[in-house]
Amino acid sequence: MSLGAHIKKSVAWLFPSAAIVHGKRHSGNSVEITFDDGPDASNTARILDILSAAEAHATFFLVGNKAHRHPGLVREIHGRGHQIANHGFAHRNARLCSVKEIIEDVERTQAALEDIVGAAIQRDFRPPYGAVTPGSFLALTRRGYRYVFWSIDSRDYATQSADATLANVAGRSRGGDILLFHEDYAHTTVALPFILDEISSRGLICDTANALR
């Protein structure tokens, strides 16, 4: 097991909701749908319409430089009642950067998102590539950030088709699971209505990462 995996496992056991969350299952009926790497000019608006039609909510882990280019989409996500959260400004891998660089990158994103929506947002952070180092983890949690990972990976970045993406998640989710998707793949958008229908058919509702506090 890698050092990063040891950190995630150990801290999740000690502080399951204060510093790190990875989809610990519970007896409730909500699952958390999350999207990385947006906002996306081609797909985000369609994703929002699909979520609205299904009366579902989601968390969008936004990349700061993309948010800067598409502030209207950020405001639309926020205005429709979804959670916007931090995915770094330049999608930097913590294992390849100094602690100072990661802190500056994350804090820059937080400030940009709050400036765009005109309000404070939760300090929920999903590290790009799921990469964690001891230094960056401690530095960011001391600044009030909570690391949000996932328990079910749709692997939409690898499947390249809507059918395969659906097959990767169908029937797997239970209360408390966090599902990982990406905004910047058209096939994810195509698969999403079927994914939401399948989740709903099993009596589950889709909520934001805030539900796991």
Residue 63 to residues 159, 195, 197, Cα–Cα distance (Å)? 22, 24, 28
Asked if residue 102 lies in contact with residue 136, where contact means CB atoms within 8 angstroms, the answer is yes
State both tokens at 19.
Answer: 């510093």
Rounded Cα–Cα distance for residues 39 and 66 (Å): 6
Q: Is there a catalytic annotation at residue 91?
A: no
Residues 64 and 90 sit within 8 Å (Cβ to Cβ) = yes
Is 18 in contact with 168 (CB distance < 8 Å)?
no
Task: Tell me the two tokens of residue 29.
Answer: 């009926």
The catalytic position among 22, 78, 82, 182 is 182
Kind of pairing between the strands at 83-86 and 59-62: parallel
Q: Measured on CA atoms in the order 155, 151, 94, 116, is the torsion positive or negative?
A: positive
Please report, to the nearest 10 degrees, the dihedral formed by the alpha carbons of residues 205, 213, 110, 179 taken in order: -40
Catalytic residue among 36, 40, 177, 207: 36
Enumerate the β-bridge partners of residue 35.
60, 181
Instruction: Let me know if 36 is a catalytic residue.
Output: yes
Annotated catalytic residues are 36, 182
